[in-house]
């Protein structure tokens, strides 16, 4: 591997467990805690795409928040490369769009110093051409909102993208179209992403499987299938459900 964009070492993160009674009220710091992440370590090389996989509650989103600096670890370290410029797509990013703003107004408010031509070119790169650029945000589909947020993120392009399920609200075809566009405009960038669909995850250079806040498997799609562990089990289950839906 070449230069590192990210080094994560022995990360631990705990959240307070709900506790009742007067002792919990008087002594909140004494409340028992629940581990969200336990001893998580991995590296991401420059230009590499790493995907996080695991069931709900496995610690994936918490890990991305730690990498993005949205919260701090209780133990361990997150070291970002010196030349890294990070862009973070959080799960709530699309909720921050102003419903009455048009696509163009949303971009213009984000980049008031940019000219109309530059913003229209940016919009066109993400599928907003002609009258589409005048659509108000409240009528946009989930896929269009995701593309608009990605356009806002990539106007001044980061070289390390941290993506927390940017396609969660999309159907399979819309997700495929989104990732085709994503790959086209971010070619060569480093990425750390969560996606609940293995059709997207399988193309990552490296895949980390989390369970109970721990790394239980790591490798490429082919390596993890050959290992016939948790990743292979999840992949087969999703493939079976997809086949049933198609029928």
Kindly report the pTM of this predicted structure: 0.84
User: What integer best gives the mean pLDDT of the chain?
Assistant: 87
Helices (H), 52-202: 60-68, 103-110, 116-125, 142-154, 172-185, 198-201
Residue 142 vs residue 216, higher pLDDT: 216
Indicate whether 24 pLDDT > 60: no
Q: What is the token pair recorded at 242?
A: 């997809």
Indicate whether 242 pLDDT > 70: no
Contact between residue 195 and residue 169 where contact means Cβ atoms under 8 Å apart: no
d(CA 87, CA 124): 20
Per-residue pLDDT reduced to its tens digit, 28-46: 555 557 889 999 999 999 9
| Chain mean position to CA 242 | 22
Indicate whether 177 pLDDT > 90: no
Backbone angles phi, psi at 40, to 5 degrees: -80, 125
DSSP code for 131? G
Per-residue pLDDT reduced to its tens digit, 116-173: 999 999 999 888 989 999 999 999 988 889 889 989 988 888 999 999 988 776 777 7
Q: What is the token pair recorded at 56?
A: 């709900």
């Amino acid at each position: 591997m070449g230069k590192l964009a990210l080094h994560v070492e022995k990360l631990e993160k705990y959240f307070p467990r709900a506790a009742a009674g007067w002792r919990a009220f008087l002594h909140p710091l004494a409340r028992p805690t629940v581990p969200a992440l336990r001893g998580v370590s991995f590296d991401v090389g420059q230009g590499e795409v790493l995907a996080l996989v695991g069931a709900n509650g496995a610690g994936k989103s918490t890990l991305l928040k730690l990498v993005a600096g949205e919260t701090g670890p209780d133990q361990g370290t997150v070291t970002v490369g010196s030349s890294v410029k990070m862009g973070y797509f959080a799960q709530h990013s699309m909720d921050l769009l102003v419903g009455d703003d048009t696509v163009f107004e949303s971009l213009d408010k984000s980049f008031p110093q940019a000219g109309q031509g530059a913003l229209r070119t940016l919009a066109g790169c993400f599928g907003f051409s002609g009258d589409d650029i005048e659509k108000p945000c409240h009528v946009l589909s989930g896929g269009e909102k995701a593309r608009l947020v990605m356009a806002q993120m990539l106007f001044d392009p980061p070289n390390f993208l941290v993506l927390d399920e940017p396609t969660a609200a999309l159907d399979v075809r819309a997700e495929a179209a989104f990732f085709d566009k994503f790959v086209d405009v971010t070619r060569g960038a480093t990425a750390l992403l969560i996606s609940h669909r293995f059709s997207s995850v399988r193309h990552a250079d490296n895949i980390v499987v989390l369970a109970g806040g721990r790394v239980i498997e790591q490798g490429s799609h082919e390596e993890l299938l050959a290992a016939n562990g948790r990743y292979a089990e999840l992949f087969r289950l999703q493939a079976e459900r997809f086949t049933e839906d198609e029928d």
